[in-house]
């Protein structure tokens, strides 16, 4: 620094401030709080770390510094949101230096902790019920929609009335033309065609043929459409409504296993569908209740460790993200380690190590096997087939 006589001020442009960095030999270990959150941390039944994406990253960055891992006791805290809150609280009260496990609740604690450079983007979404097969006995009704069935019933009712009235008028005309049935028939045609059959015999035959032709074309089209619908219902199973978006969840009243923070966020949202979705939250876990998960770009789903066999088979991933966030570490306020981690994160992304570690950590995951089922639209036991000669012979 030098004295500027003109302004009588100190020129700070060339003033080099010393930067403090933690000393690897200081003896104070770097404390990391985590729990069993695959694929970021894999913890066995004895609560020992056996691997994970963030576990590899932290070991790579702090190989020079002494560091220890402080795991949450899974017997005391069962639910994931409780475990997230515990490790975040440790950073706030300075008993830990870093909170791992893909922190996504840091926004509500942004004034209490610092965050590192984002490592990867993650989509927050739901596992929703898959479409159900309609009962087999309803295949007769499936070719037509509800409106078309209503029109069919109305048409059947009108035709029935027409036949009944025709029979009544026919008996009335028989009293006057008892011996000539042809004249009675033509009189009826004249009535139903508004006088079109009252002219010459050739005109009468043309009108009658026109009535028959229209009726025949209608019956052929109706029966063809119905036959094609029956064939489609037999070869391709029919399902209930498909849930693809948040709007579908609201329209079909799909309950979801609530999280206190998310439910409050939904209910105070400016988006109407989110406000309605907030009212559908439930604290009771049961069948056909949507579950919040986080989806990585490699089609890996987190928070699926506790799914039972029914949920793995009958739940599928919602096609819409309710929010996106970035994978970060929550750090103590004004921690010198934050800058060190940011520096390494940039290098890891440039060299492609993050993608490599993520693929490595998830490839050998035993829970990865059911992801294929969660990404399929229908249940695994659905079998679609065509009607071939072998199946057709059983009809006779």
Chain segment 319-342, per-residue pLDDT in tens: 888 887 778 888 998 888 898 898
pTM of model > 0.75: no
d(CA 33, CA 185) in angstroms, rounded, equals 94
- Does the structure show a pLDDT above 50 at 394? no
Q: Is residue 40 part of a domain?
A: yes
Least confident of 66-70, 199-203, 234-238, 389-393: 199-203
The whole domain housing 152 covers 136-235
State whether 288 and 260 are in the same domain.
Answer: yes
Contact between 299 and 373 under an 8 Å Cβ cutoff? The reply is no
Question: Quick one: what percent of the chain has pLDDT higher than 90?
Answer: 6
Of the candidates 209, 235, 261, which is a domain's last residue? 235
State whether 162 and 282 are in the same domain.
Answer: no
Report CA torsion sign: 96, 106, 42, 347: negative
Q: Between 372 and 227, where is the model more confident? A: 227
Looking at the 3D structure of the chain, how many domains does it have? 3
Task: For residue 42, list its beta bridge partners.
Answer: 51
State whether 305 and 215 are in the same domain.
Answer: no
d(CA 299, CA 304) in angstroms, rounded, equals 13
**CA nearest to 292, candidates 238, 246, 354:** 246
d(CA 87, CA 70) in angstroms, rounded, equals 9
Least confident of 130-139, 261-270, 372-381: 372-381
Cα-based distances in Å from 347 to 15, 341, 351: 29, 10, 6
pLDDT score of 198 = 47
Contact between 83 and 38 under an 8 Å Cβ cutoff? The reply is no
DSSP designation for 140: G
pLDDT score of 388 = 57
Q: Is residue 106 part of a domain?
A: yes
State whether 216 and 257 are in the same domain.
Answer: no
Q: Is residue 369 part of a domain?
A: no
Query: Is 281 strand, coil or helix?
Result: strand
CATH code of residue 337: 3.40.190.10
């Amino acid at each position: 620094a030098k004295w500027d006589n003109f302004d009588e001020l100190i020129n700070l442009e060339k003033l080099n401030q010393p930067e403090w960095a933690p000393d690897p030999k200081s003896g104070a270990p770097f404390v990391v709080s985590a729990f069993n959150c695959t694929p970021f941390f894999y913890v066995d039944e004895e609560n020992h770390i056996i691997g994970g994406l963030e576990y590899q990253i932290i070991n790579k960055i702090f190989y020079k510094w002494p560091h220890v891992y402080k795991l949450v006791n899974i017997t005391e805290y069962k639910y994931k949101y409780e475990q997230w809150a515990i490790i975040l609280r440790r950073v706030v009260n300075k008993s830990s230096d870093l909170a791992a496990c893909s922190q996504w609740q840091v926004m509500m604690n942004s004034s209490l902790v610092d965050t590192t450079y984002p490592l990867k983007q993650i989509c927050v979404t739901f596992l929703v019920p898959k479409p159900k097969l309609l009962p087999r006995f309803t295949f007769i009704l499936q070719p037509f929609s509800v409106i078309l069935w209503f029109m069919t019933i109305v048409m059947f009712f009108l035709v029935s009335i027409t036949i009944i009235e025709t029979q009544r008028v026919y008996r009335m005309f028989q009293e006057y033309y008892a011996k000539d049935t042809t004249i009675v028939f033509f009189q009826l045609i004249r009535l139903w065609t508004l006088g079109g059959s009252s002219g010459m015999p050739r005109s009468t035959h043309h009108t009658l043929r026109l009535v028959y032709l229209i009726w025949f074309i209608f019956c052929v089209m109706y029966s063809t459409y119905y036959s094609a619908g029956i064939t489609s219902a037999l070869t391709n199973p029919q399902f209930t409504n498909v849930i693809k978006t948040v709007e579908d969840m609201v329209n079909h009243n799909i309950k979801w296993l609530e999280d206190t923070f998310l439910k409050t966020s939904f209910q105070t949202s400016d988006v109407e569908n989110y406000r309605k979705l907030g009212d559908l939250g439930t604290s009771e876990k049961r069948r056909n209740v949507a579950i919040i998960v986080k989806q990585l770009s490699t089609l890996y789903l987190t928070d699926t460790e506790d799914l039972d066999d029914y949920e793995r088979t009958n739940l599928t991933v919602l096609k819409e993200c309710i929010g996106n966030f970035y994978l970060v570490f929550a750090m103590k306020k004004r921690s010198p380690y934050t800058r060190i981690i940011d520096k390494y994160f940039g290098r890891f992304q440039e060299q492609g190590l993050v993608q490599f570690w993520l693929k490595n950590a998830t490839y050998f995951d035993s829970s990865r096997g059911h992801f294929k089922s969660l990404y399929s639209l229908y249940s695994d036991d659905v079998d679609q087939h065509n009607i071939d000669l072998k199946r057709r012979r059983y009809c006779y």
